Amino acid sequence: MSNVNTTSNSIAVSPKGYAILQCKLTTNKNTVVDLFQIVQDVKINESLYQSGITVDIFILDALNLFNELNIAGNEKIRLTIGRQEPGNIKKFFDLNLHIAEIKDYSTPTPSSKAYTLQCVSKHIYLNNSKILRREFKNNASRLIKDIVTRDLSSKLKVSNKNNSKDVINGIYPRISPLQAISWLLRNSFDNGTPFYFYETAKDGLVLNSYNQIRNDFKEKAYKEYNNYPFYKSSALDGKDGEAVFDEESKKIMKLVSQINLSKHAASLKGAFRAQLNTIDISTKTLDTANWKYEKSDGFTMNTYPPISDKMKIDDKGILKDFQDSKQYYVSLNSKAFDKQNESVLDDSGFYVTKGNNYHSPANNTILKAQAIQHNLDTIKQEIIIPGDFGLSSGMIIDLKLVKNADVTLEQIEQEEFSDKVLSGKHLVTGILHHFSKEGYTQNVILKKDSFLKEI
């Protein structure tokens, strides 16, 4: 299964085409064997909410390599999958992995063995052998990058151009590197939006914020996908290979939608109104602050927000009368460090507050950040599309969906046939890249927080 839907020189004739260029296993004795001819299926799972990818490589072994190589379950795998697309464009994933587990071992025929090599990236493999117990002092972005390079021997792509600003002090409380990163991210915000630490097959480890993602795709989404029941005229004749390839790459093969429009449930989570209670244990003072959803905040991907001033529950305005529906509590210690409130100019040219404790960054931003997270659950959709090596988690794509399939080519672009509830820009929160005998497909998890029409 080394080449699927490709020509002899690995040029893809369809977006489902791919070639396994190598799958080299390095044993504990440094013996290197290329398994690409016996690989039957590959699944690469990535998500904004996972700190690393998982890769399942299904092997049908007729050479008894499992016993001959004495596989123990901690070997290295170098996996390269790619293709050459029309227009002489080369795209591929090149992954350095460690075997974490061998599962689903069976004997389908007397002369063969079948099993799945479940693999993870290097930083996931190293994580369980490290404990952090040192002091720290910096902003969260730089602390996370330090952990990745120093403790996990990996590289981190910091996509966010602004980083988290507030300098925090403390001591890591004997936790693993990935636990420490998760701990730091709880109180890390960019302009009132959350940060994400994740890994993709395309870019590796990434630290990015929702604010930066929105800015990167504000003018134009990565690509527009549709569920049109036929091809447009540009690709109907099949003479232009690039046009056919491009048109097929934008087709949604399957769509499943989950609509969470309950304003009652969202209100309880603080999606529209919330109150922050800060307790300064050094001065014994309590402060409260209220937050209200404002359309002018500009953090939605589409034109119309998931709520309006007209919406009520039991004759009470959701935006006016439910400010106590969600309470947050933050502990501060203004005298924990010397010169706590002194502002200094950092290396990037930004003024940061020097010497805050761990909870300080959450003081003015946690309400908006949590609301953004909850509002992203308003619409959740899963689509299956032909494989795209350029698409990864943390991108924004556009869906253009029709209400029903019995439309003509002339009607398909008309507003009245467009599904304005399910269409629009969506955040890609997860992708399952599936390489099989049927070709390369992607199960893409999408979320959006707004609509193309007022609800």
pLDDT at 238: 55
Length of the chain measured in residues: 455
pLDDT score for 390: 96
- Report the SS3 class of residue 240: coil
pLDDT for the residue numbered 209: 92
pTM of the model: 0.90
pLDDT digit string, tens, across residues 130-158: 999 999 888 888 999 999 999 999 999 98
β partners of residue 42: 57, 435
Section 203-230 average pLDDT: 91
Whether 253 contacts 441, CB under 8 Å: yes
Q: State how far the Cα of 48 lies from the Cα of 392, in Å rounded to an integer.
A: 10
Whether residue 235 is predicted with pLDDT greater than 60 in this model: the reply is: no
Q: Are 433 and 44 in contact (CB under 8 A)?
A: yes
Confidence (pLDDT) at 92: 93
Give residue 419's pLDDT band: very low, low, confident or very high (50, 70, 90): confident
Place 315 in a pLDDT band, splitting at 50, 70 and 90.
confident
Of the options 3.30.200, 2.60.40, 2.40.30, 3.40.50, the CATH number for the domain spanning 217-261+378-448: 2.40.30
For the segment 158-193, what is each residue's pLDDT rounded down to a tens digit? 886 656 667 788 889 899 999 999 999 988 888 888
CB 23 within 8 A of CB 77: yes
> What would the pLDDT profile of 326-374 be if each residue is shown by its tens digit?
888 888 887 777 654 444 444 444 334 445 666 666 666 788 888 888 9
Please tell me which residue, 407 or 73, carries the higher pLDDT value.
73
CA 163 from chain centre, in angstroms, equals 18
Q: Which CATH number fits domain 3-120: 3.40.50.300, 2.40.10.10, 1.10.940.10, 3.40.50.410?
A: 2.40.10.10
What is the per-residue pLDDT across 427-441, written as a single tens digit (0 to 9) for each? Answer: 999 999 999 999 999
Reading the block at residue 240, the tokens are 């232009």
Task: Let me know: does 448 contact 426? Beta carbons within 8 Å.
Answer: yes
Half-sphere exposure of 274 (CA within 13 A, CB side): 24
What residue spans define the domains of the chain?
Answer: 3-120, 217-261+378-448, 263-370
Tokens of 296: 């002018």
Rounded alpha-carbon distances, angstroms, from residue 1 to 37, 74, 97, 161, 291:
6, 25, 20, 42, 56
Q: Is the pLDDT reported for residue 296 higher than 60?
A: yes
**What pLDDT does residue 172 have?**
92
pLDDT recorded at residue 239: 59
The per-residue pLDDT for range 5-46, each reduced to its tens digit, is: 766 566 888 899 999 999 999 998 899 999 999 999 999 999
Q: Is the pLDDT of residue 95 over 90?
A: yes
**pLDDT attached to residue 236:** 53
With CA atoms as reference, report the closest residue to 290 among 258, 245, 326: 326
Mean pLDDT, rounded, for 261-265: 82
Q: What's the whole-number average pLDDT of the chain?
A: 85
What's the half-sphere exposure (Cβ side, CA atoms, 13 Å) at 136?
A: 26
Residue 442 predicted with pLDDT over 60: yes
Q: Which of 2, 148, 11 is nearest to 87 (CA)?
A: 11
